[in-house]
Structure formats: C-alpha cells, structure tokens
Amino acid sequence: MKYVSFLSQHAFSALFGLFLLQLFFFWPGEMTPDSQVQYAMAVSGTYSDHHPFIMSYLWHFLDMLHKGPGLMLFFHLSLFYGALFYFMKATPEKKIFFLLVPFIPQILIYSFLIWKDVGCAFSFLFVGACLTYQTCYAQNSPLKTLPLLIILAYGTLVKFQAQYLAPLVLFWMAYVLSRNAFGKRFILNVVGVGLLFYGLLALIKVLSPPVKENHSWQYVKLYDMASIAHDTGEDIFPDFSKTPLFLMETLHQKISHQSVDELVFGKEAILVKSSDSAQMKILWNTWAKSVVTHPLLYLKHRIMNISYVLFGVPGFGPLVSLLDQHLIPGSLIYKISYGATKTVSFLLLAYFIPVILGFFYVVLGFLAWKKSVYAAPLFFLNLVGSALVVVLFFCSMAGTPRYLYLTICLVSVSHYFAYKCWKTLRTIARRI
C-alpha cells in the first residue's frame, strides 16, 4: 500500500516516465507493408486514397525533420499519453488506474506499429479524454473546441470508417458546450460544431495536394458478391468486373470469409474494380440487388467476416512458431502447451470480450445518466467504440483484429467509469 500511495502521489510523473520508456524501447516504431506504402507516398509527395492521404501528408513534413517512422511514432504516443493525462485529471481519486492502461496486452501489442488504425484510435482517444475531463468538471470553453476539432479531423480522415463515428463525438462536444444538458442550446451547438468541423474537413481537402481516387469501396461490394456467388453457384458479376482469369471454379478456390485479397490483388486476381462512373453505378446496383435477393447469405458472410476480427488472436502465430522450435509437434506436452497458450492468448488478446463489454457499457452509461458524473463519458466513449463494430460489420473487406483497435482503446479506459456507475446504481437500488 505504501508503494501504491507513493505512485498515486507521483502519478503524472510516472505517466511521463512511461511515455519516455515506451518511446525508447519501441523507437523508431515498426512498419508493415501498408505503412511502407504510406511512407513511400510521404517521401514521393504523390498520394492516392486507397490509404487515406492525411497520414502520408503529415508524414511528408515529419520526414523533413527526421527521416523514417520515428516522429510518427512520437506523434501517436503523444496522443495516447496525452489522453491518459486527461483521464487521470478527470479521476483524481483513482488516477493510478490509467497507469495500467499502456500495459493492457490488447493495447500494447499494436501501440508501436505505424498504422492508420493506431493514429485513428489515439486521435479519438485524446479527444474523448479531453471531453471526459470537460464533462466531469464543466470545462466548456469554446476556445478549447477548435484544437479538439483539428485532432478529430485528423482521426476522421486517417481511417475510412471514422467518418461515421465523428458525428457521435460532435454530439458529445455539443453536449459539453451546452453545460451537460440537452435543449435548444444543445441543438444550436450541434449545428455550430458540425458546421465548424465539416468546414475544417473541406478546408483540409482544398489545401491538400492532388489525391488520386482509387474507388476502393468497390472491393467491399465485390467481396460481398463473391460470397453470394459462391453460395448460390451463380455468376452475378458484371463483365467489366471480371478479369480474363475469372472462372466460377477459380472463385470457389480463392474465396475466403477472412479477406478479399486473393480475389482482387496480385497477378492472378479474378475480380477488378472500375474507374468508369457508369460502371461503378452498375456495380453498386448489382450489389444491392444481390443483397436484397439473398439477405441471409449476405448476413452469413458478414457474420463470418467479423468473427475473424472478434475471435482472432493477434500475435498467436509467432507463439506457435516458438512451440514448434522447442517442442515436438504432436507430442502430449506440445498439445498441452498449445492449448494453454491459445487459451491464455485468447483471454488476453482477443477482442470478443471487450467488444461485448463495450455494448454493455453503453447501456450502463445510459442507465446511470445524471446519477453519476462518469455516466456521460462512459456512454459516449463506448457508443463510438460500439458504432465502429457496426460499421465494420457492413463495410470491412478483411477480418483483421486491428481494425477494431479504436474500440479496444475506448473500452479499456472505460472500466473505472463503468465500476463507478455500477456502484452508484447499486447504491440507489439498495435505498429503494
């Protein structure tokens, strides 16, 4: 208890120390093929929207100061630890809790990777932390709104699905500006904040360099149609969306509910997107017709795809490789070690449990509304996180856990708020 008390008294210093340690141990950050493509765009100054341009555009200027991914890692971690700083300010009685957040395996495993998913997650987390502090302490100065809108704009532009989440954050911002109340003032603030935010997005796009349009949304439509075609055995694709290698037999061999990649990328791709506006309209209408005609097959495909996100275990592959190197595959000790490793890894790294908690926290925050100062932050943080799950269910073209990194971050910082709300509701129930 003596050490806990000491750490609580010096929590902000400890947080800064953790920031420096993580920066030191993970410098200059880890790049994967996606981030290497984005870095290449940053270096060349030529941008396309297959990967949202804003990260590469920012990286272009950071690279002028220091070559490589180091400053992008610094930027991401600054947002992350800045968020924890404001969460700690909002909970002075238990600020030590947020010193544990960087060590949560589901957060730690991706925090050093230079990904747009990480940049989006930490941007939204920082804005959510500031709004949490403002909600708890009625700090609602309009002067503090513009910096938050700039960071929110970056987080929104850096990941496609974030455009559907930003309005929820804007509602929260308007709620804070309305002195934590709904009414006429709230409506006016929603309009004002919305105009300012979307005006800011428009300004960024006007000032940005030329960005080549790839129309990558077509991959999602082709992915859905491929699954339906696989299940029905019918060729439902427009001719222009098929490469010369297309055969229904080939589609049956390549189809996967985990990813569209085998169908549309590489020299052996059998489906191709179009850049012709008339053809894109035909593709959209064909997709819509196939979904309406076969809704259950569409939902089956979408459920199977999201299951890879929810039940996948990031980092499990390397662990299996270690077992293969040190144990005899097929032996009893190997089977026991494999089962134990998979169970522990699932509990620590899989997203299924946090996602379910996120939906529960939305309800808990709603029930505790006005009964606890932490109810509104709990509600809004997890409303955004849960909304991303819904958006990904319909819009994803790969079952990759990192796509829900934002949701995991928002749920992870919400546990203390959920505890306080649950405790308040239980106290009220006992009185009744």
State whether 88 and 178 are in the same domain: yes
Among 160, 186, 212, the domain-final residue is 212
pLDDT for the residue numbered 201: 92
Q: What are phi and psi of 408, to 5 degrees?
A: -60, -45
Cis ω for the linkage preceding 354 (within 30 of 0): no
Can you tell me the distance from the alpha carbon of 125 to that of 130, in angstroms, rounded to the nearest whole number? 9
**What is the domain range of residue 46?**
2-212
CA atoms within 13 A on the CB side of 396: 26
Inter-residue contact 155 to 201 (CB < 8 Å): no
Can you tell me the distance from the alpha carbon of 106 to that of 152, in angstroms, rounded to the nearest whole number? 23
Inter-residue contact 246 to 226 (CB < 8 Å): no
Residue that is written with structure tokens 């609602």 in the block: 140
pLDDT for the residue numbered 65: 92
Quick one: which H or E segment has residue 212?
Answer: strand 211-212
Q: What are phi and psi of 316, to 5 degrees?
A: -70, -35
State whether 65 and 128 are in the same domain: yes
Residue 394 lies in a domain: no
Helix count (H) and strand count (E) of the chain? 21, 2
First to last CA, the chain: 35
Inter-residue contact 365 to 336 (CB < 8 Å): no
Can you tell me the distance from the alpha carbon of 380 to that of 362, in angstroms, rounded to the nearest whole number? 7
State whether 187 and 244 are in the same domain: no
Residue 381 lies in a domain: no
Residue 160 lies in a domain: yes
Domain count, the chain: 3
Residue 355 lies in a domain: no
Can you tell me the distance from the alpha carbon of 28 to that of 71, in angstroms, rounded to the nearest whole number? 8
Among 250, 284, 311, the domain-final residue is 311
Can you tell me the distance from the alpha carbon of 311 to that of 303, in angstroms, rounded to the nearest whole number? 12
- Single out the residue of 162, 153, 152, 275 nearest to residue 207, CA to CA: 153
- Structural Rg of the chain based on CA atoms: 23
Residue that is written with structure tokens 């229904």 in the block: 248
SS3 for 64-123 is HHCCCCHHHHHHHHHHHHHHHHHHHHHCCCCHHHHHCHHHCHHHHCCCCECCHHHHHHHH
Residue 391 lies in a domain: no
State whether 276 and 208 are in the same domain: no
State whether 136 and 254 are in the same domain: no
Residue 63 lies in a domain: yes
State whether 203 and 275 are in the same domain: no
State whether 53 and 28 are in the same domain: yes
Residue 232 lies in a domain: yes
Among 290, 311, 332, the domain-final residue is 311
State whether 201 and 129 are in the same domain: yes
State whether 106 and 48 are in the same domain: yes
State whether 106 and 221 are in the same domain: no
Residue 425 lies in a domain: no
The stretches in the chain having pLDDT less than 50 are none
State whether 329 and 259 are in the same domain: no
154-166 pLDDT, tens digit each: 999 999 899 999 9
Residue 318 CA, distance from chain mean position: 23
State whether 122 and 236 are in the same domain: no
Estimate the crossing angle of helix 352-367 against helix 375-395, to 10 degrees.
140
pTM above threshold 0.85: yes
pLDDT for the residue numbered 257: 87
